[in-house]
Amino acid sequence: MSEDMLKVVVFGALNAGKTTFVEKLSGQKLFLKGEYENITTSFDFVQMEQGNFLIHLFASPGHRRFSFMWDTLATGMDGAILLIDSTVGITPVDHELIKFILNYDVPYVIAVNKNDICSLEPTNVRKELDISDEIPVINTSAIINQNLVNVLDSLIQTIAEKNIV
Ligand SMILES: Nc1nc2c(ncn2[C@@H]2O[C@H](COP(=O)(O)OP(=O)(O)OP(=O)(O)O)[C@@H](O)[C@H]2O)c(=O)[nH]1
Ligand SMILES: [Mg+2]
pTM confidence score: 0.95
Instruction: Name the burial class of residue 163, with classes exposed (0-12), middle (13-18) and buried (19+) by CB atoms within 10 angstroms of its CB.
Output: exposed
Annotate 78-110 with b (16+ C-beta within 10 A) or e (fewer).
bbbbbbbbbebebeebbeebbebbeeeebbbbb
Ligand 1, atom 13, lies closest to the CA of 17
Backbone angles phi, psi at 87, to 5 degrees: -75, -15
With a 6 Å cutoff on the Cβ, whether 40 touches ligand 1 is yes
Smallest Cα–Cα separation from 118: which of 142, 93, 88?
88
What is the mean pLDDT for each group of 10 consecutive residues in the chain (165 residues)?
A: 82 96 94 79 92 95 89 97 98 95 97 97 96 96 98 96 74
How many Å lie between the centroid of ligand 2 and the Cα of residue 58? 10
Q: Please, which residues have CB within 8 angstroms of residue 71's CB and are 6 or more apart in sequence? A: none
Annotate 6-29 with b (16+ C-beta within 10 A) or e (fewer).
bbbbbbbbbbbbbbbbbbbbbeee
Ligand 1, atom 2, lies closest to the CA of 114
Instruction: Tell me how long the chain is.
Output: 165
Supply the CATH number for residue 78's domain: 3.40.50.300
Question: Residue 24 sits in which domain range?
Answer: 4-164
The 3-state DSSP class for residue 11 equals: strand
What residues have a C-beta under 5 A from ligand 2, the ion? Answer: 18-19, 40
13 alpha carbon, closest ligand: 1
Q: How many domains does the chain have?
A: 1
pLDDT for the residue numbered 164: 67
pLDDT for the residue numbered 3: 56
Mutation to probe ligand 1, out of 9, 14, 19 (largest number of atoms < 8 A from CB): 19
Distance CA 18, CA 143 (A): 10
Alpha helices in 10-80 (DSSP H): 18-26, 70-74
pLDDT for the residue numbered 2: 46
